[in-house]
Amino acid sequence: MEEPMGLRSLLPLMAVMALVTLAGFSRGENLAGRVQAAGQSATRAYLAGDLDRWIGFYTPDAVQMPNYGPMWSGREAILAAARQAVQSGIKTLMVDYGSVRTWECGNLVYDLGTHTVTLQIPGHPKPVVDRGKYLNIWEKQPDGSLKIKLEIWNTDQMPGSGAPQGR
């Protein structure tokens, strides 16, 4: 018995669909790498003082929730806070992120990890090193890129205490 011509003509299309599906899985397997690459690019822009390029890594409605400060909503507020920090003389010398876990749900990618930030702060004779943890939520963009939608970070050490708190 001969196969209907229509079924045979669908086989190449089904093969392409299978490859597209597998490509989606491989992108998921490389999700942590994509998040790390986007984060490193944003960090390089910030360290270079290119705040206009840096803010481009955030969605227009992004929210930033830093330690010991107010929540900033929207690119304009986040950019204004960054400019204020730079104008105050605080210089970020080094940032190191260590992703502990990355997962996705729909068009959002969650990245949980630790950070070490070295700052030169006016009035401090030596650079200040802050170690802590973060949760970033990235949003997948139509062009395939990732942008930060929510950024939360907390220090492991209470100011002036000299010892990490909690755990």
pLDDT in tens, 32-56: 999 999 999 999 999 999 999 999 9
Q: Is 160 helix (H, G, I), strand (E, B) or coil?
A: coil
What are the pLDDT digits (tens) for 12-38?
433 333 333 333 333 455 899 999 999
Is 47 a domain residue? yes
What's the mean per-residue pLDDT of the chain? Answer: 83
Position 165 in a domain: no
| Beta-carbon contacts of residue 86 (< 8 Å; ≥ 6 apart) | 49, 51
Residue 141 in domain: yes
Average pLDDT over residues 5-18: 38
Domain containing residue 89: 5-155
CA-only gyration radius of the chain, Å = 21
Collapsing DSSP to helix, strand or coil, 93 comes out as: strand
What is the pTM for the complete model shown?
A: 0.77
* 88 φψ region: left (φ > 0), alpha (ψ -120 to 50), beta (else): alpha
Q: Which CATH number do you get for residue 99? A: 3.10.450.50
pLDDT digits (tens, 9 = 90+) for 84-113: 989 999 999 999 999 999 999 999 999 999
| Domains in the chain, number | 1
Is residue 166 a part of any domain in this protein? Answer: no
Does residue 163 lie within any of the structural domains? no
Q: pLDDT-based confidence at 1, cuts 50/70/90?
A: low
